[in-house]
């Protein structure tokens, strides 16, 4: 009887692995990109935060190439991107408002952004900006770095989402909110359900907590608005290591991916799926590994956190 029970449990686990594997293959290698301009509306605008570099820059290029107008919000460094896109895509309109997101707590910070949103046809919001930080030991982390990380990682997404939803409700076409947050938890199944499914890197406590805020805020919005017929697509992307000009120190982490590939994968998901997803097959594949060999989880997380922090603390911070 015991042998039969063990066999049944093994078969159950294998069937679960097969199901998730098929879903994994479809999302990352079979699913086709939708006609986003048709779905979300011709002559509409995409709001992108933090477009001066990294993922935000590549999102701006991707949407511009499809014919979307852009509303970019970010640092003065975004001017370089603005000029590049205007040259490459002269037929689209581009609005730019310069902001230091570290000041998002100020009462009047979003006033001009709100006025602009109310005056244009916005169809998509890309909450991309974050303030990456890492420090060891934590008790010696600079006070301002803590504050900046929390402000940028929580207030900006919350307020911009609040501002766009009233406009989305008025539109007849589909609308989308895309939040770039983090892999705070991982799905468990079968034997893996006995595991602690939290994902937390040591030495990145403030940055991790800010990303977790974005993750849970995004999930709460999904549950709130799914009962309404607002044609609102909400997609929460949980990235692992993404290599940009600002995160070269992630090159030694497992399953890293170049930013252009990562963003192209996400573009394929917009309008096709809602909920929590990974923008790269390697990031999701790591979940299979954890469920198969859970004893590797803590050592991988600790090594990754150590690598990121050592590189971060030895690199000169970028200027706003």
pLDDT in tens, 3-36: 788 778 778 777 877 888 898 898 899 999 999 9
The structural domain count of the chain equals: 1
> Is residue 11 assigned to a domain?
no
Q: What is the CATH number of the domain that holds 290?
A: 3.40.50.720
- State the Cα–Cα distance between residues 137 and 144, nearest whole angstrom: 16
- State the Cα–Cα distance between residues 156 and 49, nearest whole angstrom: 9
> Is residue 307 assigned to a domain?
yes
> Is residue 272 assigned to a domain?
yes
pLDDT in tens, 30-82: 999 999 999 999 999 999 999 999 999 999 999 999 999 999 999 999 999 99
> Is residue 277 assigned to a domain?
yes
Element (H, E) at 209: helix 205-225
- State the Cα–Cα distance between residues 288 and 188, nearest whole angstrom: 9
Residue 227: Cβ within 10 Å count: 7
| pLDDT confidence bin for 298, thresholds 50/70/90 | confident
Taking residues 240-258, report their average pLDDT. Answer: 83
Task: Give first-to-last CA distance, the chain, whole Å.
Answer: 67
- State the Cα–Cα distance between residues 158 and 140, nearest whole angstrom: 29
In this prediction, residue 200 carries a pLDDT of 79
Q: Report residue 65 as tokens.
A: 């190439």
> Is residue 10 assigned to a domain?
no
Residue 103: Cβ within 10 Å count: 14
Q: Helix 156-170 vs helix 205-225: angle between axes, to the nearest 10 degrees?
A: 20
> Is residue 190 assigned to a domain?
yes
Parent domain of 303: 37-313
* CA neighbor of 157 nearest in space, from 223, 101, 198: 101
> Is residue 12 assigned to a domain?
no
pLDDT at 276 over 80: yes
Pairing label, strands 45-49, 122-127: parallel
Q: Which residues, 6+ apart, have CB-to-CB distance to 287 below 8 Å?
A: 186, 187, 278
Q: Report residue 29 as tokens.
A: 């290698």
pTM score: 0.90
> Is residue 125 assigned to a domain?
yes
């Amino acid at each position: 009887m015991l042998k039969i029970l063990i066999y049944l449990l093994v078969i159950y686990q294998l069937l679960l692995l097969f199901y998730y594997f098929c879903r994994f293959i479809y999302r990352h290698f079979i699913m086709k990109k939708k006609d986003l301009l048709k779905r979300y509306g011709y002559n509409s605008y995409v709001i992108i935060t933090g477009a001066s570099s990294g993922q935000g820059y590549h999102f701006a290029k991707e949407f511009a190439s499809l014919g979307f107008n852009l509303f970019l919000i970010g640092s003065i460094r975004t001017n370089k991107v603005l000029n590049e896109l205007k040259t490459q895509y002269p037929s689209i309109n581009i609005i730019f408002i310069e902001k230091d997101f570290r000041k998002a707590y100020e009462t009047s910070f979003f006033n001009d952004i709100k006025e602009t949103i109310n005056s244009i046809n916005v169809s998509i919001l890309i909450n991309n900006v974050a303030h990456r930080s890492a420090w060891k030991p934590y008790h010696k982390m600079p006070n301002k770095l803590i504050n900046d990380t929390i402000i940028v990682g929580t207030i900006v997404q919350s307020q911009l989402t609040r501002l766009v939803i009233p406009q989305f409700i008025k539109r007849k076409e589909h609308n989308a909110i895309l939040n770039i947050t983090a892999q705070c938890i991982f799905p468990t199944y079968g034997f893996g359900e006995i595991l602690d499914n939290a994902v937390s890197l040591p030495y990145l406590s403030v940055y991790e907590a800010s990303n977790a805020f974005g993750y849970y805020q995004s999930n709460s919005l999904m549950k709130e608005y799914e009962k309404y017929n607002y044609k609102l697509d909400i997609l929460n992307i949980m990235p692992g290591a993404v290599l940009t000009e600002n995160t070269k120190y992630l090159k030694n982490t497992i399953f890293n991916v170049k930013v252009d590939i990562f963003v192209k994968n996400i573009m394929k998901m917009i309008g096709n799926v809602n909920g929590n997803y990974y923008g790269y097959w390697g990031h999701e594949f790591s979940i299979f590994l954890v469920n198969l060999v859970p004893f590797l989880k803590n050592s991988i997380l600790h090594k990754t956190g150590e690598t990121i922090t050592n590189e971060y603390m030895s690199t000169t911070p970028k200027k706003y």
